[in-house]
Amino acid sequence: MPISLDRLKVPDEFVLTQEEVIEAVTDYFIKHGWTVQIEAASGGHDLVADKQEWNAYIKCKGSRGKRQQEGMVYDNTQLRGNTGDQIEKLIRAQGEAENPSLFIMANPGLDRMKWVVSKLETGLDKLDIIRMWIYPDRTIKWDIPAHLLRIARKLGIEKN
């Protein structure tokens, strides 16, 4: 359910829609030498990026819907639901992936969103799911499982 920013104990620092996250992620990967395909019709991941022999399957979410009234954002229940959806879609992609692949959940770098995801960090690392945090100025920050750091750096994905 949407909630007014005013009703949050600590209002979100910024708001990004899923479409804005997809755009920022696409720009980042293209800038770092990847080819990107939008997969919105698939019902699964949003983007597939290719570089060298590697694929990256990316599922993006925002902090509000593009049709929501200004000043409204997803409540914590919706953020948790979105996180669960991302994980499910990425696990499905893992089962279908043929090439060496990375699996990335991309979200706004909001404290509230990071808190929700932090509760799942150990499990996400075991599932090889990388977290990509998007900020309004297009800054990207990463949470990368330690065992994937060398591969991520080789492919131009840097841990900040």
- Dump pLDDT digits (tens) for 62-71: 999 888 888 8
What integer pLDDT is reported at residue 72 of this predicted model? 85
Query: In this structure, is residue 120 part of a structural domain?
Result: yes
pLDDT at 160 over 60: no
53 or 160, which is more confident: 53
- Exposed (0-12), middle (13-18) or buried (19+): which is 124, by Cβ within 10 Å? buried
CB 14 within 8 A of CB 110: yes
- Structural domain count, the chain: 1
CATH number at residue 17: 3.40.1350
Average pLDDT over residues 79-104: 94
Structural domain of 32: 2-154
Question: Would you say residue 16 lies in a domain?
Answer: yes
pTM of the entire predicted model:
0.92
The token duo for 159 is 């841990």
Q: What is the pLDDT of residue 1?
A: 74
- What value does the mean pLDDT take over residues 115-143? 96
